[in-house]
């Protein structure tokens, strides 16, 4: 089973890129973030034409939004309103793939970016981001894991944090930049430890390999500058990690016409 996570930065604007991804990489499950699309306007006809008959969408007009598209049946769908903000940043599904004895729960997240000032007292957006991460940690560490899922699970998405020094182009220069501050990285570590998640991409591309999934639109030549950050992640429970046969960032997609500033992250599960 091939699973892709991609911040598409407007699904209606870039539906042709989703189709290209489906054609070139043939994923079984595509998890999109920042769809910026209310549910009733989601381009469902185009998605079904790509072969994704089973969907779970949680969107709103102009902002945020997540969607999970699957070739396989979805047994359950749920969404959590983190921080009770009313924004659409999480959807989870139980995917039933052929040959599996039980469903695989897939959590699709779009964590708040956090604004520009890394101080929760001065910046409400940064405070929201930290609260969101705290709630994720609390949810995944709860003894009652009915919603978080038990057994086989994957947690992925645009987590808007590059946690490791080799996840950014310059650890020293970005230590006080939102997405790589110690405060954010420590909270993301707590989310990971709460459920025993394994970073599937780093499993196959261990440090000190530099690895990015996001390059700013502001760079005239993003590829030559290569000042990226690894903001997009795919994690799994240990049992699933043992069966992960490959993982990579599909960097060429960042160079497609009218691209998202994020590249898709791809994992293969045996």
* Model pTM score: 0.96
206 has a pLDDT exceeding 90: yes
Check residue 12 and give its pLDDT: 98
pLDDT (tens digit per residue) in 118-136: 999 999 999 999 999 999 9
- Mean of pLDDT values over 45-54: 98
- Mean of pLDDT values over 208-213: 98
- Mean of pLDDT values over 210-237: 96
Task: Break the chain into its structural domains and give their ranges.
Answer: 2-269
Check residue 98 and give its pLDDT: 84
pLDDT (tens digit per residue) in 187-199: 999 999 999 999 9
Please give the full DSSP string across the chain, using - where no structure is assigned: -EEEEEE-S-TTTTHHHHHHHHHHH--SEEEEE-----GGGS-HHHHHHTT--EEEEE--SSS--EEEEESS-EEEEE---GGG-----EEEEEE--TT-SS-EEEEEEE-----S---TTT-HHHHHHHHHHHHHHHHHH-S--TTT-SSSEEEEEE-----SGGGBS-HHHHTTSTTS-HHHHHHHHHHHHHHT-EEHHHHHS-TTS---SEE-TT-TTHHHH--EE--EEEEE-HHHHHTEEEEEE-GGGGGSSS--SB--EEEEE-
Check residue 266 and give its pLDDT: 98
149 has a pLDDT exceeding 70: no
CATH superfamily of this structure's domain 2-269: Endonuclease/exonuclease/phosphatase (3.60.10.10)
150 has a pLDDT exceeding 70: no
Check residue 222 and give its pLDDT: 96
143 has a pLDDT exceeding 80: no
């Amino acid at each position: 089973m091939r699973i892709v996570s991609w911040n598409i930065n407007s699904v209606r604007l870039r539906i042709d890129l989703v189709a290209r991804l489906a054609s070139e990489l043939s994923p079984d499950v595509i998890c999109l973030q920042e769809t910026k699309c209310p549910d009733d306007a989601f381009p469902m006809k185009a998605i079904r034409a790509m072969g994704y008959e089973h969907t779970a969408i949680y969107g709103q007009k102009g902002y945020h939004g997540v969607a999970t598209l699957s070739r396989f049946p979805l047994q359950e769908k749920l969404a959590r309103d983190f921080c009770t903000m009313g924004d659409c940043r999480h959807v989870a599904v139980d995917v039933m793939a052929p040959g599996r004895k039980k469903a695989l729960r897939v959590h699709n997240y779009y964590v708040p970016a956090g604004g520009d000032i890394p101080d929760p007292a001065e910046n409400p957006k940064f405070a929201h981001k930290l609260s969101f991460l705290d709630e994720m940690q609390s949810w995944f560490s709860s003894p009652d894991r009915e919603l978080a899922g038990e057994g086989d699970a994957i947690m992925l998405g645009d987590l808007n944090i590059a946690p490791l020094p080799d996840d950014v182009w310059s650890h020293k220069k970005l230590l006080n930049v939102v997405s790589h501050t110690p405060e954010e990285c420590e909270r993301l570590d707590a989310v990971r430890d709460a459920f025993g998640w394994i970073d599937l991409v780093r499993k196959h591309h261990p440090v000190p390999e530099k690895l990015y999934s996001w390059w700013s639109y502001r760079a005239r030549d993003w590829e030559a500058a290569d000042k990226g950050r690894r903001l997009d992640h795919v994690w799994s429970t240990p049992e699933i990690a043992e069966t992960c046969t490959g993982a990579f960032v599909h960097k060429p997609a960042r160079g497609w016409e009218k691209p998202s500033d994020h590249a898709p992250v791809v994992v293969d599960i045996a």
